[in-house]
Amino acid sequence: MGLPLSLTKPRAIDFSPLVTRCERRLAATSVFLNQAGRLEVTNSVLTATPTFCMSTFLLQQTMIDQIDKFKKLCLWRGADFNARQKPKAAWPTVCREKEEGGLGVLNIKTQNEALLIKHLHNFFNKKDIPWVSLVWEKYYGPGKLPGSSKKGSFWWRDIVKLLNKFKGMARVEIGNGSSCFLWEDLWGNEILNQKFLELFSFAKKQANCVC
């Protein structure tokens, strides 16, 4: 399916076919397009090409920079890599929403993290997916949830790196209490160890107390 297969974390060179595909897309189309057309290619083609890979792996920063390089070339210079035309706007500005004065180009790093966070959603909701059951049974059980400990494969450890971002947007719902922390997770719009400071000070197991 075009993904690098390995027992260890893929290196940057293992993603070279992905970079090559982005480069071919750039050379094949952007030379015939005006500025508006190149913006459309940047959004719909060069941003979409690595989506499947980003749904599986947390890309290294070097890979993100390489993909962004092709997106910048497409938007500002077309297929002419040697053109000296300067960018008309800074890249962070280009990646802003159009309502905020940008061009709406997706931020690759943010998109990569958003695509991977869905795995944490499946995990904590114990979806009927083989890998979810395997990870729960292998590494976690009563009173044990993902945290600072580094358990699992390189893929799962990369997913767990996004745990704080996931919890910052997720909301806990009342259930059997097997997949949430009493004090540290977001209940409604509040975190209990911040709302009930005095009560929290009396808790014997403050860290990673599973409810």
Domain-located, residue 4? no
Q: What phi, psi does 35 have (nearest 5°)?
A: -60, -45
User: Which residue, of 72, 106, 140, is where some domain finishes?
Assistant: 106
Per mean pLDDT, which of 38-42, 88-92, 184-188 is the most reliable? 88-92
Q: What phi, psi does 186 have (nearest 5°)?
A: -90, 115
Is the pLDDT higher at 177 or at 160? 160
pLDDT band per the 50, 70, 90 thresholds, residue 62? confident
**Integer Cα distance of 93 and 163 in angstroms:** 28
| Domain identity same for 78 and 121 | no
What residues make up the domain containing 191?
Answer: 112-201
Task: Give residue 73's pLDDT.
Answer: 78
| Domain identity same for 135 and 168 | yes
| Domain identity same for 96 and 134 | no
**Integer Cα distance of 89 and 27 in angstroms:** 22
How many CB atoms are located within 10 Å of the residue 171 CB?
10
| Domain identity same for 55 and 133 | no
Domain-located, residue 65? yes
Please provide the average confidence, as pLDDT, over all residues in the chain: 76
| Domain identity same for 102 and 172 | no
The per-residue pLDDT for range 156-171, each reduced to its tens digit, is 888 988 988 888 777 7
How many CB atoms are located within 10 Å of the residue 164 CB?
9
Domain count, the chain: 2
Q: Does 84 score more than 90 pLDDT?
A: no
Q: Does 22 score more than 80 pLDDT?
A: no
